[in-house]
């Protein structure tokens, strides 16, 4: 069986600047995989390219074995990907409930939509309390809940989370990672993109370390976090090892 998500030799450029240089990675069904690296390493560009928001200049993206490299973003979403973008990007002029309904846009069965809504309100009771409030009136933590809830509304097979810890207080970061752990234990496949590598690798089973648009390390979370190059990258020593 092919991995649910497979990225082969992906390349992304903005004008003449090459920001992703031949990245390959895969996420099997049921896995939680972390994509970590410093700011500017190319993490978000990879995710945007997987989602079809930034065109790949080379390489392929396969979802469940099907090549979606040229497909528009909504087709990728319909293939079973839930996406929490960097910076949350909730719809500030829509209320909480309609923000969540946007996440279920492709679900035709209204009973399923109501069930998903109840499930999200069960996970985040605060969102139920705020259901008629506009997104712009929510606190940072509530917006984070809303962004994750929206990504879960379509009952995705793979959840891609881009920088869940960004802009959150430490206590909220811990809560967010607890939630990700819970979702993964319940069987959800997760691709976690994080600057906070330590936290991400505590949750993930496997990881990829990015540097300057390349994968410089990959392996199990425990191997990665104990690797001297990983420690070097995060504590100032220059990485010397190629991709494993």
Partner 1 sequence: MFLQQLVNGITIGSLYSLVALGLTMVYGIMRVLDIANAGAYVLGAYLGVWGYTHTHSLPVALLAGVIGAALVGYLFQRLIYTPVNRPDDPIVPLIASIGLFIVMEDLFRLIAGPWTLTFPARLPFQRLALGGVIVTGSQLTILATAAVLFLLLWLVLNKTKIGLGWQATAQDTETSMAMGINTRAVLAFAFGMGYAFSAIAGILVAVHHNAVFPTMGDIPSYKMLAIVVLGGLGNPLGAILASMLIGLLEAFVGGYVGSSIPTDALAFMALIVILLVRPQGLFTSGGAAK
Q: At which residue do the structure tokens 């960004």 appear?
A: 166
Tokens, residue 53: 């928001």
To partner 1, the closest distance from the beta carbon of 159 in angstroms equals 13
To partner 1, the closest distance from the beta carbon of 181 in angstroms equals 24
Which C-beta is closer to partner 1: that of 77 or that of 209?
Answer: 77
Q: What is the distance between the alpha carbons of residues 211 and 192, in angstroms, rounded to a whole number? A: 16
To partner 1, the closest distance from the beta carbon of 72 in angstroms equals 7
Question: What residues line the site for partner 1 (CB under 8 A)?
Answer: 51-53, 72-74, 77-78, 83, 85, 89, 91-94, 98, 101-103, 105-106, 150, 154
Cβ–Cβ < 8 Å for 179, 123:
yes
Q: What is the distance between the alpha carbons of residues 194 and 166, in angstroms, rounded to a whole number? A: 9
Which C-beta is closer to partner 1: that of 162 or that of 229?
Answer: 162
Backbone angles phi, psi at 175, to 5 degrees: -65, -40
DSSP per position, 113-181: HHHHHHHHHHH-HHHHHTTTSBGGGS-HHHHHHHHHHHHHTT--SEEEEE-TTTT--HHHHHHHHHHHH
Which C-beta is closer to partner 1: that of 49 or that of 218?
Answer: 49
Which C-beta is closer to partner 1: that of 14 or that of 105?
Answer: 105
To partner 1, the closest distance from the beta carbon of 194 in angstroms equals 19
To partner 1, the closest distance from the beta carbon of 103 in angstroms equals 6
Which C-beta is closer to partner 1: that of 62 or that of 101?
Answer: 101
């Amino acid at each position: 069986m092919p991995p649910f998500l497979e990225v082969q030799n992906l390349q992304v450029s903005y004008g003449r600047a090459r920001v992703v240089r031949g990245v390959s990675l895969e996420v099997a069904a049921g896995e939680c995989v972390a994509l970590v690296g410093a700011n500017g390493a190319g993490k978000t560009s990879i995710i945007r390219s997987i989602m079809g928001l930034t065109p790949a200049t080379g390489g392929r993206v396969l979802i469940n074995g099907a090549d979606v490299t040229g497909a528009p973003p909504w087709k990728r979403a319909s293939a079973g990907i839930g996406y929490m973008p960097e910076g949350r990007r909730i719809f500030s002029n829509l209320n909480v409930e309609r923000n969540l309904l946007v996440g279920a846009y492709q679900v035709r069965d209204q009973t399923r939509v109501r069930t998903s809504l109840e499930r999200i309100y069960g996970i985040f009771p605060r969102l139920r309390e705020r259901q008629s409030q506009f997104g712009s009136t929510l606190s940072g933590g509530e917006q984070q809940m809303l962004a994750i809830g929206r990504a879960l509304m379509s009952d995705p097979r793979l959840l891609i989370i881009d920088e869940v810890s960004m802009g959150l207080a430490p206590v909220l970061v811990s809560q967010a990672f607890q939630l990700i752990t819970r979702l993964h234990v319940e069987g959800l496949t997760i691709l976690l993109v994080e600057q906070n590598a330590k936290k991400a690798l505590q949750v993930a089973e496997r990881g990829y370390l990015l540097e300057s648009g390349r994968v410089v390390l990959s392996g199990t979370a425990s191997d990665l976090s104990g690797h001297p190059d990983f420690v070097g990258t995060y504590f100032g020593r220059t990485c010397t090892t190629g991709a494993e």
